[in-house]
Amino acid sequence: MKAIWKGAVRAESDDKGIAAGNHYVPRASVKAKFLTPSDTTTFCSWKGAASYESLSVDRPSNRDAVWPCALRKDAAKRIRGRVALCNGVKVTD
Domain ranges of the chain: 2-92
State the Cα torsion 58-24-93-37 to the nearest 10°: 10
Mean pLDDT of 36-58: 84
- More confident of the two residues 36 and 74: 36
- C-alpha distance from residue 39 to each of 12, 30, 54, 77 (Å): 25, 19, 10, 24
In this prediction the pTM is: 0.75
**Helix or strand run (H / E) with residue 52:** strand 48-55
- pLDDT at 28 > cutoff 70: yes
CATH domain 2-92 topology: 2.170.150
Q: What end-to-end distance do the CA atoms of the chain give, in Å?
A: 4
Q: Quick check: bond before 68 cis, omega within 30?
A: no
Output the average pLDDT for the chain: 82
pLDDT for 70 equals 61
- pLDDT at 75 > cutoff 70: no
Lowest mean per-residue pLDDT among 14-18, 46-50, 66-70: 66-70
